[in-house]
Amino acid sequence: MGEIILTMKGIDKSFPGVHALDHVNLEIRKGEVLALMGENGAGKSTLMKVLTGIYKKDSGTITYEGKEVEFENPRAAQDAGVVIVHQELNMLSHLTVAQNIFIGREIMNGKMIDDAKMNEESIKLFQKLNIEIDPTEMMGNLTVGKQQMCEIAKAISHDAKVIVFDEPSAALTEAEIEELFKIIRDLKKKGLGIVYISHRMDEIKVITDRVTVMRDGTYVGTLITKDCTKDDIINMMVGRVIYEDPKAASTVPKDAPIVLKVEHLNAGKMVRDVSFELRKGEILGFSGLMGAGRTETARALFGADPKESGDIYINGKKVEIKDPMDAVKNGIGYLSEDRKRFGIVVGKSVAENTTMAALQNFMKGLFINKKKEDQVSWDYVKSLKTKTPTVETEVVNLSGGNQQKVVIAKWLTRDCDILIFDEPTRGIDVGAKSEIYTLMNELVAQGKSIIMISSEMTEILRMSDRIVVMCEGRKTGELDISEATQENIMHMATQRK
């Protein structure tokens, strides 16, 4: 076990109305990867913001390399060797890789910026990480994975001794995650202290040495990763057992009618000749790696993006879907993977979002029947167990899981029979996740049909009745849940046609 490099002890932080951190402890050791886990809102990010000087702590001590410290701002923390690699990358896409890495501390040659020298230095950094990126490439032309590598290179260029990774894998493909892990192991070997924040249990098991769990702003405890199970960690996070086994067999009768049939759908490079069927009361899982074209397929089907060719049949009848209006008229609802951009109007109330797709049913003559709108919205708040004080509350104030419920309410208000859930639990904490699952199961029990796009294998195996696997814009396989395993799905997901 490595020597302790950084200790946070009794850290306390309050915001008006919220006790965000309640005497939290954290210990980072050299040559070790520490997982920091907890549901959304548990206080992980706040703790890291206190560490790097974005927030001032109310009380408690931070000891770094044997001395008590309090960083004034992220810059001071960086200079001392404590850096964060953020989940959302702070990259300037129109500058080169090297220019990004050295932004704010450009290498000068007299009064002029020395680009050549910065390129050289960047290459040296990349060599340290054993990765190959052209420092003169525009940042915007890199994949998300490569951009993250650049962010890491930037971090180590500060002579970092402690690196915090804030959900680094969220946007990465499996291959990129592997590469990231290789780098993290390298950094670990070099004696750096690493904090790894993630919701992905599988990764925690693979990459971390210890797990510190937080819940509701408090420190719950620390476990040795190899000595504990996923359930141990989840139990500490939520205080209850929720981990469920995969679905054993399809719950859809063999003779259930086909509600949606898609034939030879083509849209751009990402959707090539995709055909599938959806039965009444079925959850059809769409699995695949990032960039497999699943979201693009859903968007083309929904009319959100133009399609080149392909036929869509609803309840056996051929329909024309040119734009989302047509799709909604045909009873299709789309729950986007990017809720804030495509799913909800964050600045508007729960009620306004709930009726967005079906406002015509809430009219009294020329006017919106506010009473009915509030009543229906409140009914959904109750039946979906959305946590919101009122229906007038702006959705920006709700947590991810509750925002997702508002989007579900929107499509239920429109009485859609076919719902496309694109990454239904992305950014949603474990507790709310199982609520969303229960809800989806209730919906199909009521006779709705669901297409579920998911990048989480456990989610696919737990929820789907049937699974369509895509790779690089093509459908590469279809499995009944009874025959699906992680291995055969992954095999199809990497099978280029």
Partner 1 sequence: MAGKVKNAGSRTTNPLVEKIGGQRLVVLLVIITLFSFFSIKSEAFRQYSTILSILDYSYYITFMAIGVTFALITGGNDLSIGTGMVCYGLIGGFLITKMGMPVGVGLVVTLLCGILMGVLNGTLVAIMEIPPFIATLCTMMIARGLGSIVTGSMSITWPPLATEQGWFRSIFKITIGDTKYPLGFLWVIILIIIMTIVLNKTRPGRYIIAIGSNKEATRLSGVNVVKWHMLAYIICGLFTGFAGIAYAATFQAVAPGTGAGLELDAICGAIIGGTSMKGGAGSIVGTLLGVFVMSMLKTGLPYIGLQANWQQIITGIVLIVAVLIDVIRTKKSGK
Element (H, E) at 419: strand 418-422
Please select the residue that binds partner 1; options are 38, 310, 343, 477, rule is CB under 8 A. Answer: 343
| Integer Cα distance of 449 and 257 in angstroms | 11
Q: Could you tell me where the DSSP H helices lie in 214-323? A: 230-238, 294-302
- Decide whether 248 or 367 has the Cβ nearer to partner 1: 367
Number of residues that bind partner 1 (CB under 8 A): 47
To partner 1, the closest distance from the beta carbon of 242 in angstroms equals 15
Please select the residue that binds partner 1; options are 118, 163, 327, 451, rule is CB under 8 A. Answer: 327
To partner 1, the closest distance from the beta carbon of 414 in angstroms equals 7
Residues in region 283-302 near partner 1 by CB under 8 A: 302
To partner 1, the closest distance from the beta carbon of 194 in angstroms equals 28
To partner 1, the closest distance from the beta carbon of 361 in angstroms equals 11
- Decide whether 257 or 306 has the Cβ nearer to partner 1: 306
Residues in region 186-245 near partner 1 by CB under 8 A: 216
Q: Which of 491, 465, 467, 496 is nearest to 479 (CA)?
A: 467
Placement of tokens 């890495």 in the chain: 101
> Checking phi first, is residue 238 left (phi over 0); if not, alpha (psi -120 to 50) or beta?
alpha
To partner 1, the closest distance from the beta carbon of 147 in angstroms equals 24
- Decide whether 180 or 452 has the Cβ nearer to partner 1: 452
- 345 sits near partner 1 (criterion: CB under 8 A): yes
Contact code string over 66-105 relative to partner 1, x by CB under 8 A: ----------------------------------------
Q: Which of 326, 338, 297, 293 is nearest to 451 (CA)?
A: 297
- 404 sits near partner 1 (criterion: CB under 8 A): no
| DSSP assignments along 202-243, one per residue | HHHHHH-SEEEEEETTEEEEEEEGGG--HHHHHHHHHSS---
To partner 1, the closest distance from the beta carbon of 151 in angstroms equals 23
To partner 1, the closest distance from the beta carbon of 324 in angstroms equals 5
Placement of tokens 């001071």 in the chain: 76
End-to-end CA distance of the chain: 47
| Integer Cα distance of 325 and 339 in angstroms | 19
Pick the stretch among 187-195, 239-247, 310-318, 321-329 that binds partner 1 (CB under 8 A): 321-329
Residues in region 250-279 near partner 1 by CB under 8 A: none
Provide CB contacts within 8 A for 260, sequence distance 6+. Answer: 277, 278, 312, 313, 314, 332, 418, 449, 451
CA–CA distance from 430 to each of 157, 243, 344, 386, 398 (Å)? 36, 9, 21, 15, 16
- 15 sits near partner 1 (criterion: CB under 8 A): yes
Pick the stretch among 67-75, 101-109, 145-153, 329-337 that binds partner 1 (CB under 8 A): 329-337
To partner 1, the closest distance from the beta carbon of 16 in angstroms equals 7
- Decide whether 300 or 344 has the Cβ nearer to partner 1: 344
Contact code string over 383-402 relative to partner 1, x by CB under 8 A: ----xxx---xx-xxxx--x
- Establish how many alpha carbons lie within 13 A of residue 325's alpha carbon, considering only the half-sphere containing its beta carbon: 1
| DSSP assignments along 106-157, one per residue | --EETTEE-HHHHHHHHHHHHHHTT----TTSBGGGS-HHHHHHHHHHHHHH
To partner 1, the closest distance from the beta carbon of 338 in angstroms equals 9
- Phi then psi for residue 449, to 5 deg, are -125, 145
Provide CB contacts within 8 A for 405, sequence distance 6+. Answer: 380, 384, 385, 386, 435, 436, 439
- 24 sits near partner 1 (criterion: CB under 8 A): no
Please select the residue that binds partner 1; options are 207, 304, 350, 451, rule is CB under 8 A. Answer: 304
Please select the residue that binds partner 1; options are 71, 219, 286, 334, rule is CB under 8 A. Answer: 334
Residues in region 353-382 near partner 1 by CB under 8 A: 356-357, 359-360, 363, 366-368, 370
Q: Tell me, what DSSP letter sits at residue 322?
A: -
Where along the sequence are the contacts to partner 1 (CB under 8 A)? 15-18, 39, 41, 216, 302, 304, 323-325, 327-329, 334, 336, 341-348, 352, 356-357, 359-360, 363, 366-368, 370, 387-389, 393-394, 396-399, 402, 410, 414
